[in-house]
Amino acid sequence: MKALIDRILKDGKCYPGGILKVDKFINHQMDPNLMKDIAVEFIRRFASTKVNKILTIEASGIAPAIMMGFLMNLPVVFAKKKKPNTLDNMLATKVTSFTKQRDYDVVISRDYLCPDDHVIFIDDFLAYGNAAKGIIDLCKQSGATLEGMGFIIEKAFQDGGQYLREQGVRVESLAIIESLENCEIKIKNAQ
């Protein structure tokens, strides 16, 4: 994903505490052509995977997930960070946001995450893996099969990727950040 890496190096901004801001092209203002390329790459990487649903968590995972769902002609379900009054028959878990430093009760309807589902989880970042751990919990509660997880950007210096891989989760990251020390973006590789 050379185009993604180029954009990270050109437009990404680093902040103290291991924060990489990519809101110019991924998670606030979005580049739809880049989102399409990201979705195509995830589809290529998961091509041999049995999948009938794309799963994400609000909000920044929705754009790449919906693009994937569109291209694969599959439904996209997103876990909500706030329980709507109209949501019955729900599964719930707690997720801590690294960037916002707060806990969320994440919910999803049992009607949309079922035992027959084979899902791929898509999100913008993998840092400590908190959102991913919440999704794993929701999949376990529902009986759905988690076929893999795709992340636009993984921060290798935080332990989320290592944790997920040690748990046997298939992880596909399009750009891996080795370090943000001294607010310098160092890309490890792009698989």
Confirm or deny that 85 is annotated as ligand binding.
no
Query: Is residue 187 within a helix (H) or strand (E), and if so which, with residue range?
Result: strand 186-189
User: Among positive and negative, which fits the CA dihedral 160, 163, 167, 169?
Assistant: positive
Confirm or deny that 155 is annotated as ligand binding.
yes
36, 66 contact by CB (below 8 A): no
Alpha helix (H) residue ranges in 91-191: 130-142, 160-166
19-21/13-15 β-pairing: antiparallel
Count of Cβ atoms closer than 10 Å to residue 172 Cβ: 18
Confirm or deny that 20 is annotated as ligand binding.
yes
Q: Retrieve residue 133's tokens.
A: 């751990």
Confirm or deny that 50 is annotated as ligand binding.
no
Reference 27, options 13, 41, 17, 42; nearest CA is 13
Exposure of 151 by Cβ count < 10 A (0-12 exposed, 13-18 middle, 19+ buried)? buried
Confirm or deny that 127 is annotated as ligand binding.
yes
Confirm or deny that 189 is annotated as ligand binding.
no
DSSP, collapsed to helix, strand or coil, labels residue 29 as coil
Question: Which residues are part of a known binding site for xanthine?
Answer: 20, 27, 155
Question: Which residues are part of a known binding site?
Answer: 20, 27, 127-131, 155
Question: Which residues are part of a known binding site for 5-phospho-alpha-D-ribose 1-diphosphate?
Answer: 127-131
